[in-house]
Amino acid sequence: MAEHTFSISELAREFDVTTRTIRFYEDQGLLEPQRAGQRRIYSRRDRVRLMLILRGKRIGLSLLEIRELFDLYDAASNDEPQLREFIRILSRKEQQLQEQLDDIRVVLGEIGQIRSQCEKALGKQAS
């Protein structure tokens, strides 16, 4: 039974990305489609990898971090090393986001104070 394959345009439509984006991930070594002349033929494995790349990007992982996870997965005889590394990466990303959130809260507080000062100044001008 032949494995189900996908064209670049099918994957682009399914994941709402451009074909150029998919080719970029291929150039980066994250996807490895087969070739039939000039045509790329993507396997289920490529489809899953594309889904994981996009999910990783959405949560803020770099392509290097995604590649490291793929390399671990490809080399591991079990999932434990990959899962431990993924937990480490996620913890680091969570810490970065928490720091950004703290910074945003500080800036929002400052914006609120400045806005209040401006509103008071306008109130004084109206009287």
Write the pLDDT tens digit of every residue in 53-63.
Answer: 999 999 888 99
At residue 69, the pLDDT reads: 83
* Side-chain-facing half-sphere of 59: CA atoms under 13 Å: 15
pLDDT band at 127 (very low <50, low <70, confident <90, very high): low
pLDDT surpasses 90 at 89? no
* CA distances in angstroms from 8 to 1, 5, 37, 38, listed in the order given: 22, 10, 14, 12
Confidence class of residue 104 from pLDDT cuts 50, 70 and 90? Answer: very high
- Spell out where the chain has E strands: 34-36, 39-41
pTM, full prediction:
0.71
Domain 1-59 belongs in CATH node 1.10.1660.10:
yes
CB-count burial class (<10 Å; 0-12, 13-18, 19+) for 22: buried
Query: Would you kindly state where each structural domain of the chain is located, as residue ranges?
Result: 1-59, 76-127
Phi/psi of residue 77, each to 5°? -90, -15
The stretch 68-82 carries a mean pLDDT of 75
Query: Which candidate, 72, 70, 60, 63, places its Cα nearest to that of 21?
Result: 63
DSSP 42: B
Q: Is the pLDDT of residue 42 over 90?
A: yes
Q: What is the structure's pLDDT at 50? A: 95
Secondary structure of residue 40 in the 3-state scheme: strand
In tens, the pLDDT along 17-31 reads: 999 999 999 999 999
Q: How confident is residue 119, by pLDDT bands cut at 50, 70 and 90?
A: very high
% residues pLDDT > 90 (the chain):
63
3-state SS class at 62:
coil
Query: What pLDDT is stored for residue 126 in this prediction?
Result: 67
User: To 5 degrees, how large is the angle CA 45–CA 47–CA 48?
Assistant: 65
